[in-house]
Amino acid sequence: MVLDPWIWWLIFRKKDSTQRLLLGGIWAMFIATWLNYIGVTMGLWRYNVKTIPVIPDFLAWDFSLMPVYIMTIIQIKPNIGPIPKSLFFATTTAFGAEPLFDWLGFFDYPNWHYIASFPFYIVIFLIAHNLVYGKQFNEIS
């Protein structure tokens, strides 16, 4: 389950953009894991399903679904700007995926609401997009 999105991504990614896409994906992994840890620690939400017994419950989402989804959106229709794409990502994630996984019983929101996640998803996507398309890379000499 955890590897399924990565297998899909390995097949359908733009091969010549792999490193840049992974930079954006790794950013998404890092920040999502950090924010999830804070949210769980503060009691804002809790996870009910342990996908892998020896790791925190939220890593399946943070290390597979979120980064692969972000990298996929970034590479599809590259002529569409980052703002509409970030709004699409935030909308489908905050108002589609979160309610679905909540309904399926994967987690509970005792002190959080989906709409509060929306701006975080926008920022996460925009930073990942900037890392992928940034011009700050120099050749290694």
Asked whether residue 111 is assigned to any structural domain, the reply reads yes
Is residue 141 situated within a structural domain?
no
The set of residues, in sequence order, having a beta carbon less than 8 Å from that of 87 and lying 6+ positions away, is 122
Is the residue at 98 inside a domain? yes
Residue 140 lies in a domain: no
90 in a domain, yes or no? yes
Which pLDDT does position 36 carry in this prediction?
A: 86
Domain that holds residue 25: 4-11+18-133
- Any domain includes 139: no
Check residue 111 and give its pLDDT: 86
Over the stretch 28-51, which tens digit does the pLDDT of each residue have? 999 998 998 898 889 898 877 766
Instruction: Tell me whether residue 138 is in a domain.
Output: no
What tens digit of pLDDT does each residue of 78-109 get?
Answer: 889 999 999 999 999 999 998 988 898 888 88
- Compute the half-sphere exposure of residue 89: CA atoms within 13 Å on the CB side of its CA: 30
Rounded mean pLDDT, 110-120: 91
Tokens describing residue 115: 């709409």
- Is the Cα torsion angle 35, 120, 130, 80 positive or negative in sign? positive
Number of folded domains that form the chain: 1
Residue 133 zone, left/alpha/beta (φ > 0; ψ -120 to 50; rest): alpha
